[in-house]
Amino acid sequence: MEVFTQQLINGITLGSIYGLIAIGYTMVFGIIGMVNFAHGDVFMVSAFIALVTLLLVTTWLGIGSFVIALLIVLIVAMLFTSLVNWAIERVAYRPLRGSFRLAPLISAIGMSIFLSNFVQVAQGPRVKSIPPFFNEVIVLMSGNGYDVAVSYKQIVVWIVTAALLLVFWFVVTKTALGRAQRACEQDQKMAALLGIDVDRTVSITFVIAAALAAVAGTMYLMYYGVVSFADGFVPGVKAFTAAVLGGIGSLPGAVLGGLLIGLIETMWSAYFSTDYKDVAAFSILAITMIFLPQGILGRPDVEKV
Amino acid sequence: MAPEASGLASRVVGALRQAAITGLIAFGLLLPLIGFNTVQNIRNELILETRWPLLAAMVAIIAGGRFLHALLIAPWLARRALRPRPEHAPRARLARWLVPFALGFAIVYPPLALSITGVQGAVKWIDNFGVQILIYVMLGWGLNIVVGLAGLLDLGYVAFYAVGAYSYALLANSFGLSFWILLPIAGCLAAFWGILLGFPVLRLRGDYLAIVTLAFGEIIRLILINWVSVTNGYAGVSGIPRPTFFGIPFNASDEGFAARFGLEFSPIYRTIFLYYVILALALITAAMTVRLRRLPIGRAWEALREDEIACRSLGINTTNTKLTAFAMGAMFAGFAGSFFAARQGFISPESFTFMESAVIVAIVVLGGMGSLIGVAIAAVIMIGGTEIMRELDFLKAIFGTNFDPTQYRMLLFGFAMVLIMVWRPRGLIATREPSTFLNARRALPSRAPQSEETQASLVRERHG
């Protein structure tokens, strides 16, 4: 029971990070129908930007307050990652819109290879670790010589994720921008006829996706304390699995899928074996796509001739 | 004179403005990761270092490039687009000459390399360039059946390559069977896995199919890593028997190849032999692809790529069609895999990462899906190009001794993928020979070239 509760806490934390990345996949797929293969690497780049900012803030500016430092890191990482993703869309995907089906996917794979190797060359191939900080935990219950604890970091991850999701939900459902986005999702041509700048809306979608990925990247860096250039691929695939599991195109589905994947992964590691935890994630991806392609909250895709 | 001058001035101003905007964006993009470098100091703490000169240089290069592009290249491209396009007859003639020439070059390449660079240099040129490129040509041609002909995007192709390699390595090590017996067995096992993994994904298409095959590829790699008792995990399988010259080993013994044929012993013979083996395997792949395209199954593949629903309503069994495509593609990957294991003598899961799959898919798509020549050209450019990065030692003289060109191989590879896709989304060779001609071509020989061209142009435009 204690192990289960502890894994539940860990799983929700991990799931929040996956959920934030999964929203990026699901939004981009919803609006232009492509799997943004480079999104996992955008997440990794954001973690590096957060790392640089964190070092800048703590060692150069000497800001000691954890909350202020985190806030600055978050905002800077979101800004720069948004710029990166905006540029990627502009350079690698926009010229291919309306081209044949596989072209954007191949371009995205190329971008993914480019990004991870760029970071490897620019920042070195070694794993970067930040000094441990903010390690206090709250012991919830203990029994059988096993403490169930929530760390402050985990609480921060939950609060930041929840706050950002609220803001994001507000933007998508209540603002003109969100309305334009949903309109483009349903029918781009019609949206354009009604005076919506489709290119701009797609760009903004990429910017929002990147901003959420940057939040995930910052949380990842803070929570694990390490990041390397190769950290984009596997979290990327898992977040994509989350998006598919929740129903691709559905925003609540992405969050739900993220939480589920996070829970499955931690439970699998706790009760079966850590060796095969990635196999579990990949198997869920394959099984979902084969047997439940519309996901939990998605709409079934009807093919018209 | 005056309006021209002011026109030039306004163009320069416009170009300058664009360069400034681009430079600003580049500055923002590069500031965090190029401007700052995270390094570990003596106490193992991460500290920041600044690299302002490098940042400034990169921003200047990008802005300068944008300036030149806006001022010179963009107007030139616009002018060229206005000019009437020349007939593509010369290109057809070029293609007719290219194939025999390339084939002839591939056959005389080892002796040529030997005579130019001598025995020491030739091992490198034949093995690193010749054999390496030909393995990818063969993988590209094998995947071309799945992606190019049947239109099923397979991002886990490297799994079958791995199946072939491990089949050969494990069977040869455990049972002592020879390369020539295990080559077909490895191909059959890989084809079997192709059917096994193809079966669940029959209903999927497009991006979804791509992602599920990716997942399968990763699962197979993770199993190879974790099933230590069979595959030896990360450590890999070593001591794999090398192929023999139809029973005669390439070693220094009296029974060896060199002694039997009265030659002085040298490792170059094995390298040359391996080169011809992979060349033959690749050519078999190509020949089978060409023949298969004319058979009903090949036509069914291409029909499936164009329109699955139409296919089904015409009574084509899409299940069988897809599975044969998967099995065929996987079989050739199995052949290539067992050749790879025999050539290396050592394999580990590191050789079968997703990156390999991405490289093979890139070769097929960049070459122009379905075009054998295009795939071969793309393999030579992408693999040969990245291999040649190892040889560019003179760059050290320019950028300093710490400069290591091999670091930039995959960086440039990814960049080239994006660039070629944006430049030519249909691949390098977008024109595909029609698989079938109307009989009119034979009936009216005098008008034949024209009718061929019309049909080719039908194929070229966006179908497939």
**Higher model confidence: residue A52 or residue B396?**
A52
Handedness of CA A151, A154, A158, A159 (dihedral sign): positive
Q: What value does the mean pLDDT of chain A take?
A: 87
User: Can you tell me the mean pLDDT for B253-278?
Assistant: 80
Handedness of CA B308, B314, B317, B321 (dihedral sign): negative
Which of A45, A49, A128 is facing B46, going by the closest CB pair? A128
Residue owning tokens 């309306």: A98
Contacts of A89 in chain B (CB under 8 A): none
In the structure, what pLDDT confidence band is assigned to residue B400 with cuts at 50, 70 and 90? low
Cβ–Cβ contact A229 with B under 8 A: no
What pLDDT is attached to residue B459? 47
What pLDDT is attached to residue A51? 92
Please identify every stretch of chain A with a pLDDT value under 70, giving residue numbers as ranges: 300-305
What pLDDT is attached to residue B401? 65
CB-based contact A122 B365, cutoff 8 Å = no
Cβ–Cβ contact A91 with B under 8 A: yes
**Higher model confidence: residue B88 or residue A94?**
A94
In the structure, what pLDDT confidence band is assigned to residue B402 with cuts at 50, 70 and 90? low
What pLDDT is attached to residue B385? 82
Residue owning tokens 């050209």: B377
**Per-residue pLDDT at B159 exceeds 90:** yes
Phi and psi torsions of B150, nearest 5°: -85, -10
| Chain A residue whose CA is closest to B463 | A100
| Chain B residue whose CA is closest to A114 | B414
The structure's pTM equals 0.86
User: Can you tell me the mean pLDDT for B322-333?
Assistant: 93
Query: Mutate which of A39, A79, A115, A117 to test chain B, going by most B C-beta atoms within 10 A?
Result: A117
First to last CA, chain B: 51
Tokens in use for B7? 């026109």
Cβ–Cβ contact A105 with B under 8 A: yes
Cβ–Cβ contact A82 with B under 8 A: no
Q: Give the SS3 label for residue B461.
A: coil
- Strands A128-129 and A226-227, how do they pair? antiparallel
- Kindly compute the dihedral angle of the four CA atoms of residues A20, A26, A30, A32, in this order, to the nearest 10 degrees: 90
Which of B32, B46, B407 is facing A80, going by the closest CB pair? B32
State the Cα–Cα distance between residues A83 and A87, nearest whole angstrom: 6
Question: Using CB atoms within 10 A of its CB, is residue B443 exposed (0-12), middle (13-18) or buried (19+)?
Answer: exposed
Question: Using CB atoms within 10 A of its CB, is residue B92 exposed (0-12), middle (13-18) or buried (19+)?
Answer: middle
User: Can you tell me the mean pLDDT for B91-112?
Assistant: 78
CB-based contact A113 B355, cutoff 8 Å = yes
Asked if residues B431 and B439 have their Cβ atoms less than 8 Å apart, the reply is: no
Beta-carbon neighbour count of residue A7 at 10 Å?
20
What pLDDT is attached to residue B370? 77
Q: Is A128 left (phi over 0), alpha (psi -120 to 50) or beta?
A: beta
What pLDDT is attached to residue B449? 45
What pLDDT is attached to residue A256? 92
Residue owning tokens 């403005």: B17
State the Cα–Cα distance between residues B254 and B223, nearest whole angstrom: 42
Q: Which DSSP symbol is given to B155?
A: S
CB-based contact B422 A91, cutoff 8 Å = yes
What pLDDT is attached to residue B133? 92
Q: How far is B375 from chain A (nearest CA, A)?
A: 15
- Amino acid (1-letter code) at residue A57: V
Which segment, B86-95, B136-145, B201-210, B449-458, is predicted with the most confidence on average?
B136-145
Tell me the sheet residues that pair with A129: A226
Cβ–Cβ contact A107 with B under 8 A: yes
**Per-residue pLDDT at B464 exceeds 80:** no
| Chain A residue whose CA is closest to B366 | A106
Query: Mutate which of A85, A127, A279 to test chain B, going by most B C-beta atoms within 10 A?
Result: A279
Query: Mutate which of A101, A282, A305 to test chain B, going by most B C-beta atoms within 10 A?
Result: A282
The CA radius of gyration of chain B, in Å to the nearest whole number, is 26
Residue owning tokens 């010259």: B245
Residue owning tokens 């760009």: A203
What pLDDT is attached to residue B453? 46
- Amino acid (1-letter code) at residue B229: S
CB-based contact B407 A120, cutoff 8 Å = yes
What pLDDT is attached to residue B446? 45
| Tens digits of residue pLDDT in B418-436 | 988 888 887 777 665 555 5
Contacts of B28 in chain A (CB under 8 A): 80, 83
Q: What value does the mean pLDDT of chain B take?
A: 82
Asked if residues A107 and A239 have their Cβ atoms less than 8 Å apart, the reply is: no
Asked if residues B67 and B80 have their Cβ atoms less than 8 Å apart, the reply is: no
Which of A35, A105, A117 is facing B411, going by the closest CB pair? A117
What pLDDT is attached to residue A301? 62
Q: How many CB pairs under 8 A join A and B?
A: 174
Which of B48, B365, B422 is facing A56, going by the closest CB pair? B48
**Per-residue pLDDT at B184 exceeds 90:** yes
Phi and psi torsions of B417, nearest 5°: -60, -50
Cβ–Cβ contact A61 with B under 8 A: no
